[in-house]
Each structure stands twice: as structure tokens, then as C-alpha cells.
Amino acid sequence: MPAIQLLYQTALSLSATRTLVMNAHAHPLLTEMQKKAQSLELWQHFKPEFDAIDRMGLSLSPEFVPNDKPYELILLLPAKNKQQTLGWMAQAMEKLCKGGMLMCACANSHGAKSYESALKNLAGTINSTSKSKCRIVSAKKTDALNRELQQEWIEAGKAKEIETLGLVSQPGLFSWDRADIGSNLLLEQLPELSGSGMDLCSGYGLLSKQILQSSPDVENIHMVEADYLALQCAKTNTKKWQERVQSHWADATVDTLPGNLDWIVCNPPFHTGQTRDVDLGQQIVRRACHRLKKGGSLFLVANRKLPYEHILQSELHRSQTVIETNGFKVIQGRR
């Protein structure tokens, strides 16, 4: 039984008037929860998961802006990043009414035991059960709440300026506290750009900011990103050039992308959650090729072993590997 099903199934056995689901994921049991609860609020910042819930006909928000009224029950599915998840735990405790319950579920292989210990340190007393290689942990908000630890986790999980980057970022984003090797390599190989372009899978805006700083003839840049939290950081990091920047919260595998572009830069993802997914990056790169105008260029950086060359060769007029070093490669294609 996946953690998501275990969490929702357990919640259905409880009586709560006001419920919030943080990092909500689509599942038929959500519909049952909607029918039972007088008030059910769903929060999901990742566009593909957001859209899956939206297709169920349920309302939700990409922003964590809880109602002023405290919740009786908050459900939480941990993120891939532990620091981000601890921040969510602390925020959840802040938004519970006294006696309200926070419930988390996690696969054992994804750190369930660690989150059990963390919640115990935060809340004082917990209940924990295991089933189907998953663990479900709950805690009520009482006077035993460690408020000093709570504030520490909330602050640690917030978006903040990272001195080594000179950019605003936050835990949970790709390479959130340091520039990744691939992006730096791509920036080193980029020519001075001009016209209209797209930063596809822009993250917190590392590539966009550097391009805007170094290429004054860029008329506008479209930042496309599936993580709402990352896109908010990217907008902050490019605020100086906001008249030339358009941000798009989008799933690059299915949503409409800007077109008729002079250039595209892309550091495509190749994981879905905890799982390696090479096809994900290939879908994105294939769609990117068709958004260029004739003569437009795609600049792609990827792990050396990931297969993208055949896509550029089939979809573009010509392509070449510009450099291959330190386990990465930069490929340029022209339509």
C-alpha cells in the first residue's frame, strides 16, 4: 500500500471538521475525504500533481496560504528534501488548533523512521504504526510542542538569499544551495544571446539571471517551470529585468509552451519524484525543438550518459556536442 493511500485511508477513519492536505497527491480517496469533511483544503506546488487533482474536480492552491481559522487535522506527505519537509511539519503545527492532529505517511525506504524521530522531537508525543513497508506517524498539538525547534525549522525551510549564489532559493529546489555543475558548464558555453528566448525548466532562475546580465540584446525571456516555489524565487531573482521576463508555471511535457523563439536553454530533469525517468527529459527536449523559429538554437546540458542526441538529430536541422567534461555535455542544435 503506497504511503499516499495509507495516509488518506487513515484520515477517513477520523472525524475532523477542517482538514488541510499539504503536498496533496491525486487519489480516489481524496474524493471520499471531500464528501466527508465540511472543509477540505488541498495544497500542491508541483504542476503535474496539481493538474492531476484538478482533473478530479477538486479545488486546490499552489500557494501555502492557510485560512485564518486553525485546522483540526493536517495531512502531510514528505517531500524529497528533508529540510523542506521539516519546515512543512513546523508550519503545520503552527496552523493546527490546540489538540489538532498532524499526520504524516512515508515509505520506509524514503526515510520514514527519520521523520518519526523528527516529529517526536517537535511535538513531544507521537503515535506510529507500520504497514506495507510504510510508516504513518501522528502527533497532537499540545503544550509539549517545542516552539524553539518549530521556529528553527520554519526559518530553515523558507526562501532566502544564498550568499554563494547571490540568488534567492530554498530547500527542496534543484541544487538549491549551490550552482550545479551542468548549469555552470552551459553558461560557460553560451554565446551572447539576443531576441526572444526561453529558459525551459528554469528552476530558481540561475540561467535566466546570468543571461539577462550578460546579453543586453535579449528582448524577452520566458521562464518555464513546473515547481511553483521555484518559479517564485526565479521571479524574485530576475525582478531587475521584470519588463523583459515572462514566467510560466507549466508542465513542460503537456502544457502549451511559448513559441517562435530565437533560442532555448534547458537543463532538463530526469527524475519523477524519487524515480529516475529518462523519458521525462526526452519529452521536454522533443517539445522544445518545435518551439524554435527557423534558424533558432537550442542549448542543452545533460549528464553525459543521458540519450538526447538522437532527438536533436531527428527534430532539428543540425546539432553537435559542444563540450563533454566532468560527466556532463553541452549540445547545441539549430532548427
For residue 290, the domain's CATH number is 3.40.50.150
What's residue 15's pLDDT? 86
CB 218 within 8 A of CB 225: no
Please check whether residues 130 and 16 belong to one and the same domain.
Answer: yes
Please check whether residues 217 and 107 belong to one and the same domain.
Answer: no
Give the closest residue to 245 by CA, choosing from 222, 224, 276.
222
Residue type (1 letter), 140: K
What's residue 36's pLDDT? 85
Check pLDDT > 80 for residue 270: no
What's residue 64's pLDDT? 80
What integer is the mean pLDDT of 120-126?
A: 95
Choosing from 157, 181, 201, the residue where a domain stops is 157
What integer is the mean pLDDT of 176-182?
A: 93
What's the Cα-to-Cα distance from 46 to each of 24, 52, 169, 225, rounded to whole Å? 10, 10, 16, 9
Choosing from 141, 157, 173, the residue where a domain stops is 157
Question: Long-range contacts of range 208-213, CB-CB < 8 Å, 24 or more positions apart?
Answer: 208/234, 208/237, 208/238, 208/245, 209/167, 209/237, 209/238, 211/265, 212/238, 212/240, 212/241, 212/244, 212/245
Check pLDDT > 90 for residue 35: no
Q: How confident is the model at residue 266 (pLDDT cuts 50, 70, 90)?
A: very high
- pLDDT tens, residue by residue, 52-82: 999 999 999 999 876 678 999 999 999 999 9
Please check whether residues 131 and 175 belong to one and the same domain.
Answer: no
Q: Cell 532538463, residue?
A: 268
**What is the average pLDDT value for the chain, to the nearest integer?**
94
Q: Which domain holds residue 42?
A: 3-157
Choosing from 115, 136, 157, the residue where a domain stops is 157
What's residue 271's pLDDT? 52
Please check whether residues 108 and 208 belong to one and the same domain.
Answer: no
What's residue 278's pLDDT? 78
Cα angle value 242/248/253 (rounded, 5°): 150
Please check whether residues 27 and 116 belong to one and the same domain.
Answer: yes
**Alpha-carbon gap, residue 169 to 289, rounded angstroms:** 29
Please check whether residues 116 and 184 belong to one and the same domain.
Answer: no
Distance of CA 135 to the CA centre of its chain: 24
CB 128 within 8 A of CB 112: no
Task: Compute φ and ψ for 188, nearest 5 degrees.
Answer: -65, -30
What angle do the packed helices 112-123 and 147-157 form, to 10 degrees?
Answer: 130
Domain count, the chain: 2
What's residue 272's pLDDT? 57
Give the closest residue to 206 by CA, choosing from 245, 172, 244, 178.
178
Please check whether residues 175 and 47 belong to one and the same domain.
Answer: no
What's residue 127's pLDDT? 93
Please check whether residues 261 and 303 belong to one and the same domain.
Answer: yes
Please check whether residues 45 and 119 belong to one and the same domain.
Answer: yes
